[in-house]
Amino acid sequence: MTRKHPARFQPIQGAVKLGSPIDNLKGLREGLLSLKRGGSPGSGGLRVEYLTTLAELLDGDKMLLLESFGLRYLRGELPLWFYRVFLASQSVALFKTKEQVEVRPIGIKHSLVRSFHREVVRQNKGELTNYLEPEQLALSKAGGQKLVFCVRTLLEVNPNFIALKLDIENAQNDISRAKCIEELGDIPELKHLAWHAATTLGPYTALHTGGEIWGEAQEGVTQGDPEATPFYCVTWHKYVREAESTLKAVGGVARFLSDDGYLVGPAKEVFQTFSTFREQLREHCGLNLNLQKCETYIQTGERPEECPPEIPLAGLTKDPGILEPGFICVGIPLEQMSMSGRC
């Protein structure tokens, strides 16, 4: 778990333009009433059932007080020490596979923090989605289906194309907080979120288990926080757009569902794009691609000469030396017969 939380990659910029992520919290009562019973209380132990009861019982004036507190928090108007305490994260290690070799670090923030952040995402979802589409589909309605349809159709129409499946190592925990704040501030339709991001991502995040602090997160967003995925995707999206522009010129695409990415097109252009994209993520965002978990799908099953030897070919080897091409695209198996329309 300690290795999953690296030291700070870049210093936070010295000045961020003041802004408010939302104008009001008028939807807070409805948001609290819609919380699912049995959800983890996270840091602080405040159960979601208590918040739901508050929403049911608080009269208008008292609800206004809670909304006022929430806005002050979101606008960075509370004492600096408060953010250090309020944003502490309860750590939970989930095994990624049944072999229980690698863990996925999940962070559970205070239940009220999550409610405030959920309202920020709800009110800004249109602007966030418009900025990320069509290359990044993590916030899009039926985003997974759109990605699978796009990748599969393009490969069916262009049997000489390859698909390079990308794997970003320790993605949301490694992403540069400074780069996130910088990118939000540079995007006209999202710059009002930069100040809020600076107040919540600037301080190191205390990590605790069983009531005891065991470490801190200096970089990354907290997996499980409603703001984690949109902030994470925005941070490196301009490099996704560059990859899309390069591949689009030769009939290909770059498509992502959060950190699940696919570069599709002629082999030469795909691997040139991959090389540039990989270096951009490493240099500017603190992210690294895990080459051994990336995959190259090609319908002939023959390794393209441009493919780095560390990247395996996608498919199953049932007989010695015979590869049956295929890969899993955001949970959906795509293989050679389906590409030829015979499945």
- For residue 269, is it within any domain? yes
Nearest to 262 by CA among 274, 250, 251: 274
Instruction: Provide the percentage of residues in the chain whose pLDDT is more than 70.
Output: 96
Beta strand pairing call for 89-95 and 205-209: parallel
Please compute the mean of the pLDDT values over residues 44-59 and round it to a whole number: 93
Contact between 41 and 114 (Cβ < 8 Å):
no
Nearest to 42 by CA among 94, 114, 104, 117: 114
- For residue 300, is it within any domain? yes
Contact between 293 and 167 (Cβ < 8 Å):
yes
Whether 292 and 203 share a structural domain: no
Whether 148 and 208 share a structural domain: no
pLDDT of 134 strictly over 80: yes
Work out the mean pLDDT of the chain and round it to a whole number.
92
- For residue 256, is it within any domain? yes
pLDDT of 339 strictly over 70: no
Write out the E strands in the chain: 89-95, 103-108, 162-169, 205-209, 212-217, 253-257, 260-265, 288-289, 295-298, 315-319, 322-329, 332-335
Instruction: Count the Cβ atoms, other than its own, within 10 Å of residue 72.
Output: 12
Whether 55 and 148 share a structural domain: no
Please compute the mean of the pLDDT values over residues 289-315 and round it to a whole number: 92
- For residue 1, is it within any domain? no
Q: For position 337, what pLDDT does the model report?
A: 44
Instruction: Count the Cβ atoms, other than its own, within 10 Å of residue 111.
Output: 22
Whether 239 and 326 share a structural domain: yes
Rounded to whole angstroms, the Cα distance separating 144 from 256 reads 9
Residue 108: domain span? 28-133+179-221
Q: For position 301, what pLDDT does the model report?
A: 85
Nearest to 217 by CA among 12, 2, 35: 2
Rounded to whole angstroms, the Cα distance separating 42 from 46 reads 7
Whether 244 and 203 share a structural domain: no
Extract the tokens encoding 145: 């289906």
Whether 67 and 201 share a structural domain: yes
Rounded to the nearest 10 degrees, the angle between the axes of helix 228-235 and helix 111-132 is 40
Sorting pLDDT into bands at 50, 70 and 90, what band is 106? confident
Whether 299 and 248 share a structural domain: yes
pTM (predicted TM-score): 0.92
pLDDT of 68 strictly over 60: yes
Under 8 Å CB-to-CB from 62, ≥6 apart: which residues?
A: none
Rounded to whole angstroms, the Cα distance separating 208 from 164 reads 38
Sorting pLDDT into bands at 50, 70 and 90, what band is 227? very high
Whether 37 and 106 share a structural domain: yes
Whether 158 and 265 share a structural domain: yes
pLDDT of 267 strictly over 90: yes
- For residue 105, is it within any domain? yes
297 alpha-carbon distance from chain centroid? 24
- For residue 228, is it within any domain? no
Q: Domain holding 163: CATH number?
A: 3.30.70
Per-residue pLDDT of 236-260, as tens digits, reads 999 999 999 999 999 999 999 999 9
- For residue 279, is it within any domain? yes
Contact between 103 and 94 (Cβ < 8 Å):
yes
Decide: residue 51, CB within 10 A, 0-12 exposed, 13-18 middle, 19+ buried. Answer: buried
Whether 270 and 304 share a structural domain: yes
Whether 272 and 151 share a structural domain: yes
Whether 86 and 155 share a structural domain: no
Q: What is the DSSP string of 267-330?
A: HHHHHHHHHHHHHHIIIII--EE-GGG-EEEETT-PPPTTS-TTSPBSEEEEETTEEEEEEEET
* Helices and strands, number each (H, E), in the chain: 13, 12
- For residue 10, is it within any domain? no
Q: How many domains does the chain have?
A: 2
